[in-house]
Amino acid sequence: MLTSEPHSRKLSFNKRILSIMDNNETRDVNRRGSTGSIKQTIKKSFSKTNLIKKSYTQNYNHNECMTSASAGHTFIGNYFSDKYIVLNKIGKGATATLKLVKKKFGDETVYVAKEFYKKCKAESNKDYLKKITTEFCICYPLNHEKIVKTFELIEERDGKWLIIFEHCGGGSLYEKINSGKLKDINILNCYFKQLLLGVQYLHSMGISHRDLKPENILLDSNQQCIKIIDFGVSAVFRSVFDKKKHLIDGLCGSQPYISPEEYNENYHDGEMIDIWACGVIYYFMMFTEVPWGQACPSDLYYQTFLNKGKDFFPYLDVFTPGALEGLLKMLDSNPKTRIKLNELLNTNWIQGIESCGSTDHYKSHGPTPIGLNHRHVVLNI
């Protein structure tokens, strides 16, 4: 059984971690990148990330996880092939391959294994380990019904590393919308409100997703509830010790969803970046297309939007007045005047949406309820 470390020892350990880590970067990885090296990296990265994650998360014992990480338990198990059976490959991306797996010794629960490619020649060992540990350390402590669950980081005999996630059997929001079969505004609004509440949770934990898009929003097997996935480029903008958030740097994400300030400025507000992406996602949900290639002056469609505003939209009859106003405020090109997420969630538009979820936050509290007792259409796509 795991035991909590003494309070004074925990504080000393926390201070040591903070002195080693800066902006989630690992600074003491040895050159060989051995199993011992990455374990040490995880211990240090994860410990600081835990501190960032405000330990009030339900079902998450900070002391227990700290002790377990220090002992090398929980996060690093046996080799992957000793514990899991690969069922089939389901996709691949720039950094990893995705596989459906199940445990050799257990029930029939299916998981998703994200298998990272081996380090390329142009990539330093430090950057390679940082890429893997940062994603794991950000997503592992998250505990929210709209965020995909992360179970463990595990090594394979060939030196590859894998993160094990829960499996979402309903496909992606992109597939569902892009099929052209989903036209029910109540279901679309249900998904969107769930997305906003998931992003609100991330921001409350000091995390900016930075790559929100329909492809990174999965559905459960009943296609009722969403799950936000892929924290590979996410960033921490506020730790538990910070009263104020700090700006984040770098340009990342998928071009149509990247905010305009990311093209023009070196440092950005992580919350505003995500709100902009949510606005583009809602546009895609309404019109089954992205509004522009990229939000910069060289893009003719984006420039037309800046000049015409709501008249840029293909048609307006899909919007209530509140929805149209909310979308335009999310797509405000100035991050300083762009609507804040809490303000958006408190509008009559969002408050009036009935959405699927286990808490009262998902119910309708607005003056004109939308989607009460709605039913989701399961699309075989």
Q: Which of 148, 167, 186 is the last residue of a domain?
A: 167
Q: Which residues form the domain of 29?
A: 1-167
Residues 123 and 240 in one domain: no
For the chain, strand residue ranges (E) read 84-92, 96-103, 110-116, 150-155, 161-166, 207-208, 217-219, 226-228, 235-236, 248-249, 267-268
Residues 260 and 299 in one domain: yes
Q: Binding site membership: which residues? A: 114
Sign of CA dihedral 73, 76, 82, 88: positive
- 84, part of any domain: yes
Residues 3 and 97 in one domain: yes
Number of domains in the chain: 2
Q: Read off the CATH number of the domain in which 177 is found.
A: 1.10.510.10
Give me the pLDDT at residue 40, please. Answer: 56
Residues 321 and 218 in one domain: yes
Residues 6+ apart with CB under 8 A from 33: 119, 125, 128, 129
Residues 103 and 160 in one domain: yes
- 374, part of any domain: no
- 377, part of any domain: no
DSSP, collapsed to helix, strand or coil, labels residue 343 as helix
Give me the pLDDT at residue 204, please. Answer: 96
Give me the pLDDT at residue 242, please. Answer: 82
DSSP, collapsed to helix, strand or coil, labels residue 148 as coil
Which tokens belong to 228? 């936000």
Active site residues: 211
Residues 252 and 346 in one domain: yes
Radius of gyration (Cα) for the chain, nearest Å?
A: 21
A 10 A CB-CB count for 71 gives 10
Measured distance CA(290)–CA(294) in Å, rounded: 10
Q: Binding site membership for ATP: which residues? A: 114
Q: Read off the CATH number of the domain in which 70 is found.
A: 3.30.200.20
- 369, part of any domain: no
- 224, part of any domain: yes
Residues 125 and 32 in one domain: yes
Per-residue buried b or exposed e for 220-259, using 16+ beta carbons within 10 Å of the residue's own CB: beebbbbbbbbbbbbbbbbbeeeeebbebeeeebbebbbb
Q: Which of 167, 202, 224 is the last residue of a domain?
A: 167
Helices 62-71, 7-20: axis angle to 10 degrees equals 70
Give me the pLDDT at residue 41, please. Answer: 52
Residues 159 and 219 in one domain: no
Sign of CA dihedral 343, 349, 355, 361: positive
Closest CA to 326 of 287, 291, 279: 279
Residues 185 and 128 in one domain: no
Closest CA to 147 of 159, 163, 165: 165
- 380, part of any domain: no
| CA atoms within a 13 Å half-sphere pointing along the CA-CB vector of 273 | 32
Residues 186 and 79 in one domain: no
Give me the pLDDT at residue 120, please. Answer: 85
Residues 247 and 133 in one domain: no
Helices 62-71, 35-52: axis angle to 10 degrees equals 170
| Whether the Cβ atoms of residue 1 and residue 68 lie closer than 8 Å to each other | no
Residues 49 and 149 in one domain: yes
Measured distance CA(262)–CA(274) in Å, rounded: 12
- 86, part of any domain: yes
- 83, part of any domain: yes
pTM of the full predicted structure?
0.82
| CA atoms within a 13 Å half-sphere pointing along the CA-CB vector of 310 | 14
Query: C-alpha distances in angstroms, 120 versus 104, 116, 129, 319?
Result: 31, 11, 12, 48
> What does the pLDDT look like over 311-323, one tens digit per residue?
999 999 999 999 9
DSSP states along 162-205: EEEEE--TT-BHHHHHHTS----HHHHHHHHHHHHHHHHHHHHT
- With tokens 């969107």, the residue in question is 192
Measured distance CA(255)–CA(124) in Å, rounded: 26
Tens of pLDDT along the chain (381 residues)? 333 333 333 333 333 333 333 333 333 333 334 445 555 555 555 444 443 333 333 333 333 443 444 343 444 448 999 999 999 999 988 889 999 999 998 899 999 999 999 888 888 888 888 889 999 999 999 999 999 999 999 999 998 999 999 999 999 999 999 999 999 999 999 999 999 999 999 999 999 999 999 999 999 999 999 999 999 999 999 987 887 899 999 999 999 999 999 999 999 999 999 999 999 999 999 999 999 999 999 999 999 999 999 999 999 999 999 999 999 999 999 999 999 999 999 999 999 999 999 999 999 999 999 999 899 988 887
Closest CA to 324 of 367, 283, 368: 283
Q: Which of 121, 148, 167 is the last residue of a domain?
A: 167
